[in-house]
Amino acid sequence: MSDLPGDVQVTVGWLYPSALSTYGDRGNVQALVQRARWRGLKARVVHIEPASVIPEDIDIYFIGGGQDRAQAQVAETLVGTHGSVLRARLAEGASLLAICGGFQLLCHEYVTVRGERIAGVGVFDAVTHGSRDRLVGNVCANTRWGQVVGFENHSGRTWLGSGTEPLGRVDVGHGNNGEDGTEGVTSGRAIGSYLHGALLPRNPAITDWLLQGGLRRRDPTSELTRLPDHWERATHQPFAHKRG
């Protein structure tokens, strides 16, 4: 059980699930909720669509991936009304996970393969350029949370700004752009990544880091109890022989 009072609730805000919900990324939301509940915490999920008002009590935000058309459909709202709210909540200590297309929208801009520019929120100091070739396959990356694994499938090439911290460095796979060895990005309590799989069920240390940030937004003294993660760690074994 958690050291928190029993009436504390963790609220996950899922941004645009009807448009950006590709490659099973809903598993990230399920992992956040389940790992909270395993600790005796109350948890709920709020779906936030473009016409929605973002509630004030969101502790952890999630935005998934989608095709270029779906990204363009939500970009105006995300950059406008929702973007200013999101930046303010992150400054207050909320956590965020953005995967693939969502990751791209939280950078400064996404330039499609046709040269169309989709403005981003600017949470991450990075830009993305479309490509006709896709980067697809398993990924293993070294991060501050240890070895992180997942699956990538993206045509966009993301380039981080100078001094921006990546989520990790790839041992296996392409990463952000297939050239500089970086995968994803971190900024404050926000993470962007190309890793599907879904990312959080296979990498519980990141899940718990996001949960801890969300809980401390409500109670700065909160601490998560440890959970046994035997099955989650077992998902890393197929990569062991590839690391040399």
For the chain, domain boundaries: 9-242
pLDDT for residue 1: 35
pLDDT at 244 over 60: no
pLDDT for residue 4: 44
Tokens of 37: 């509940």
Which region holds residue 46: left if phi is over 0, alpha if psi is between -120 and 50, else beta? beta
- Assign 237 a pLDDT band (cuts: 50, 70, 90): confident
pLDDT for residue 19: 76
Q: Domain 9-242 belongs to what topology? A: Rossmann fold (3.40.50)
Average pLDDT, the chain: 89
Active site residues per annotation: 100, 196
pTM here? Answer: 0.92
Distances (CA, A) of 106 to 79, 186, 192, 241: 9, 12, 8, 35
Which is higher by pLDDT, 16 or 209?
209
Specify whether the CB–CB gap between 130 and 43 falls below 8 A.
no
Distances (CA, A) of 174 to 13, 23, 67, 119, 135: 30, 18, 19, 25, 6
pLDDT at 116 over 90: no
Q: Render pLDDT for 4-46 as a digit per residue (tens, 0 to 9).
A: 444 557 999 999 888 787 777 889 999 999 999 999 999 999 9
The four Cα atoms 130, 132, 137, 139 give a dihedral, to 10 degrees, of -30
Q: Render pLDDT for 217-228 as a digit per residue (tens, 0 to 9).
A: 888 888 899 999
pLDDT for residue 8: 55
Tokens of 57: 């009590």
